[in-house]
Amino acid sequence: MGEVAAGVEAVFREERGRLLAALVRRFGDLDLAEEVTSEAIEAALVHWPATGVPPVPGAWLMTTARRKAVDRLRRDQAYAARLAILQVEADRAGPVPAVEPGDDLPDERLRLFFTCAHPALAAEDRAALTLRCLAGLTTAEVARAFLVPAETMAKRITRAKKKIREARIPFRVPDADEWPERLPGILQVIYSIFTEGYAAVRRVDLAEEAIRLTRILRRLLPAEREVAGLLALMLLSHARRAARTGPDDVPVLLEEQDRSRWDRCLIEEGCALVPVALTGGPPGPYGVQAAIAALHDEAPDVAGTDWPQIVALYDVLLALTPSPVVALNRAAAVAMRDGPAAGLVLLDELAGEPLLRGYHPYPAARADLLHRLGRPAEAAAACREALGLAGTEPERALLRRRLRRIEQADA
């Protein structure tokens, strides 16, 4: 029984999103699809422990869900009439692929990815919907992940679904000419989920959900190099999770991390994806960032890191996505290649950038270079400036430690 229950859980983790997407495609309505997806899963929880997991669980769930939907539509004629109109419109977009007997579900998740990441939805709603519909998280789980009350998240999701329904955001894969505009939208939603998990140390879940979502997307779009790039970037960053923080969640700088604690399996998988992301066309920003992460992950230590190559990659990244934050990271890499004085010149050129005002890593990077140049008074001042801007207690703890080190060197 315990074994079957575990099997049931595993099936649902994998099949929930697929089932939901197939039902949305079938009925053109997210609410109905969610309702009958849950009912089908409840039915499975009742039947499967007694009968065992069926040979094609996805098809079993789909058949059950469709039967529940037909019941629901019989009970509510007005709803059925509205859905019929929707379905006529949906059918114009192409025939519904048939589910062959004995075959598993058709995979319609790509449509659902595009709907959940639609630019007409608010950015925060896109991440919540993607987690709910494609990662299969409950509303309560999504709320916990974003540290908001469950009612707040429920309202947000209801509002987003109302917009999809009433403004009729379509469940469709955009035409090829729209891809350059729309695919980055999906990747951005997933990456925002990842960085949200990355920022708050204890919420590893979100980073792993983001990786799982990207794995799904990669199976759906094996030829899209930026999907490979995003997956590589996240794997190569996530590989350092065990070494990235010390006691009390205080962040550990890259140069001080215990590299023996980095996850070699993830590094290997990520590194293998980098050439996939970077060959066969012009590089994309995720592929380039993944290549930078791979150089860090493969280096034995800071001194043995290929800084000339990292600077060259930052040059490419800066051309692709000009931003002062990228320029700041590039300056730090130049400081490693050419020495702190060269890095400081570049950092000082960024002074007055509106986007860096209030961004604590900027004065923190200046503090580091001034310290290495033997200018302790200026280093301490920059470090105090960073302390005043840092948003979280672990970040401030790290800066206080660096400030003490600067002051000790001065004494």
Partner 1 sequence: MKYMLLIIANAADGDGQAAGCTPEDWMAYDKQVRDAGIFVSGESLADLVTATTVRVGPDGRRTVTDGPFAETREVLGGFYVIDVPDLDAALDWAARCPGARDGSIVVRPVADFAG
Which residues contact partner 1 by CB under 8 A? 78, 81-82, 85, 89, 92-93, 118-122, 125, 159, 162-163, 166-170, 172, 174, 181
Minimum Å gap between C-beta 184 and partner 1 is 12
CB of 29 to partner 1, least distance (A): 12
Rg (CA), the chain: 25
Pick between residue 21 and residue 310 the one whose CB is nearest to partner 1.
Answer: 21
Q: How far is the CB of 174 from partner 1 (least distance, A)?
A: 7
- Nearest approach, Cβ of residue 135 and partner 1 (Å): 22
Q: 81 or 199: whose CB is closer to partner 1?
A: 81
- Tell me the C-alpha distance between 15 and 313, whole Å: 39
Q: Which residue has the tokens 């190559």?
A: 309
Backbone angle region of 280, left / alpha / beta, with phi > 0 → left and psi within -120 to 50 → alpha? left
CB of 299 to partner 1, least distance (A): 38
Nearest residue to 300 (alpha-carbon basis) of 267, 260, 340: 260
Q: 317-326 in b/e burial notation, b at 16+ Cβ within 10 A?
A: bbebeeebeb
Closer CB to partner 1, 170 or 251, in the complex: 170
- Work out the number of other CB atoms within 10 angstroms of the CB of residue 36: 27
Give least dist CB 190 to partner 1, A: 19
Q: Rounded to the nearest whole angstrom, what is the least distance from the CB of residue 159 to partner 1 in the complex?
A: 6
The residue (of 89 and 348) whose beta carbon lies closer to partner 1 is: 89
Q: Which is nearer to partner 1, 6 or 84 (CB)?
A: 84
Nearer Cβ to partner 1 (119/339): 119
Residue (122 or 355) nearer to partner 1, CB: 122
Residue 162 Cβ vs partner 1, minimum distance, rounded to whole Å? 7
The answer to whether 386 touches 364, Cβ cutoff 8 Å, is yes
